[in-house]
């Protein structure tokens, strides 16, 4: 079965850039999405189809997908961005697979 | 603004059937897939399947023999049935909306743009 891996945690200073990776075999051939999940809240879609931002998601969230790695970048990280972020891959044969999630801490 | 709300029993006995309903408010069910996702304690999210607004469905292969999803657009609801449950089915269950893309590749949904708050289901005698 297809698997995605993410670093367990990422730390970032306020105003700096947080980079979260998601790795999987030939991930470039799939669509990657990213979700933000704060404790006690439902997941929020922040990036879909590799780099697209849903309406209402700040521009500081951006995404890319190349080779075996999809990347979520948070530029100018704010305290409110502290949350778990998990990736999700899709293609028409594998369908939906989720990564284990990365905890972003804003120090 | 579209909202989703899961409902159903929080405790199910082993070997019995888990049944959950998701009520959609604030929007139409047309032109979307409607999905169920779960997260067992300490584990990652797992897609269970989806049902389209036309009633067709697709399930995760490992769960296919036990899963049935249905939709009632007149009530703005869709449902999950999971039979022969075991402790491994204990999880936080979410319902979610899948927006559709129509392009040269066909029609597909590849992400979940609206989620319910989730409901905990425990399988225990």
Q: Dump pLDDT digits (tens) for B7-38.
A: 999 999 999 999 999 999 999 999 999 999 99
Q: Which residues of B touch A95 (CB under 8 A)?
A: 47, 58, 60
- Between CA B29 and CA B51 the distance in angstroms is 11
To the nearest whole Å, the CA of B103 is away from the closest chain A CA by 13
* pLDDT 10s digits, A18-55: 999 999 999 999 999 999 999 999 999 999 999 999 99
Q: Which residues of A touch B101 (CB under 8 A)?
A: 49
Checking if the pLDDT of B52 tops 90, the result is: yes
Lowest mean pLDDT across A21-30, A61-70, B29-38, B104-113 = B104-113
Checking if the pLDDT of B49 tops 90, the result is: yes
Mean pLDDT confidence for B84-96: 98
pLDDT class for B42, splitting at 50, 70, 90?
very high
- Between CA B124 and CA B11 the distance in angstroms is 7
* pLDDT 10s digits, B62-77: 999 999 999 999 999 9
- Between CA A87 and CA A81 the distance in angstroms is 16
Q: Which of B47, B113, B118 sits opposite A54 (nearest CB)?
A: B113
pLDDT class for B93, splitting at 50, 70, 90?
very high
Q: Which residues of A touch B44 (CB under 8 A)?
A: 86, 98-101
To the nearest whole Å, the CA of A98 is away from the closest chain B CA by 6
Distances (CA, A) of A3 to A106, B61, B109: 28, 15, 20
Question: What pLDDT is stored for residue B119 in this prediction?
Answer: 98
To the nearest whole Å, the CA of A66 is away from the closest chain B CA by 18
pLDDT class for A83, splitting at 50, 70, 90?
very high
Checking if the pLDDT of B47 tops 90, the result is: yes
- B32 Cβ under 8 Å from any chain A Cβ: no
CB contact set of B23 (below 8 Å; sequence gap of 6+) = B4, B5, B7, B75, B76, B77
Nearest to A98 by CA among A106, A107, A88, A90: A88
**What does the DSSP 8-state code read for residue A72?**
E
Q: Dihedral sign, CA of B101, B23, B81, A35?
A: positive
Residues found in chain A: 107
Nearest to A35 by CA among B46, B112, B40: B112
Nearest chain B Cα to A89, which residue?
B110
Residues found in chain B: 125
Range B52-65 burial, b when 16+ CB lie within 10 A, else e: bbeeebbbbeebee
pLDDT class for B107, splitting at 50, 70, 90?
confident
Mean pLDDT of chain B: 96
- Between CA B118 and CA B122 the distance in angstroms is 13
- Between CA A73 and CA A62 the distance in angstroms is 5
Q: Dihedral sign, CA of A34, A37, A43, A46?
A: negative
Q: Which of A41, A49, A101 sits opposite B44 (nearest CB)?
A: A101
Nearest chain A Cα to B45, which residue?
A98
């Amino acid at each position: 079965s297809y698997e995605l891996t993410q670093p367990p945690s990422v730390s970032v200073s306020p105003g700096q850039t947080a980079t979260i990776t998601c790795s999987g075999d030939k991930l470039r051939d799939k669509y990657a999405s990213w979700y933000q999940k704060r404790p006690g809240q439902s997941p929020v879609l922040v990036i879909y189809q590799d780099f697209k931002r849903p309406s209402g998601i700040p521009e500081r969230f951006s995404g890319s997908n190349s080779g075996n790695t999809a990347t979520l970048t948070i530029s100018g990280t704010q305290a409110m961005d502290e949350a778990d972020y998990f990736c999700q891959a899709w293609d028409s044969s594998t369908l939906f697979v989720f990564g284990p999630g990365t905890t972003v801490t804003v120090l | 603004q579209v909202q989703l709300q899961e409902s159903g029993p929080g405790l199910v006995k082993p070997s019995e059937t888990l049944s959950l309903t998701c009520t959609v408010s604030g929007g139409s069910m047309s032109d979307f897939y409607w999905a169920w996702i779960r997260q067992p304690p300490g584990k990652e999210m797992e897609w269970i399947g989806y049902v389209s607004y036309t009633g067709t469905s697709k399930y995760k292969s490992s769960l296919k023999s036990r899963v049935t999803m249905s939709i009632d657009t007149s009530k703005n609801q869709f449902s999950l049935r999971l039979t022969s449950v075991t402790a491994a089915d204990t999880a936080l269950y979410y319902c979610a909306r899948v927006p559709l893309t129509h392009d040269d590749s066909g029609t597909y949904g590849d992400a979940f743009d609206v989620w319910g708050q989730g409901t905990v289901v425990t399988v225990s005698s």
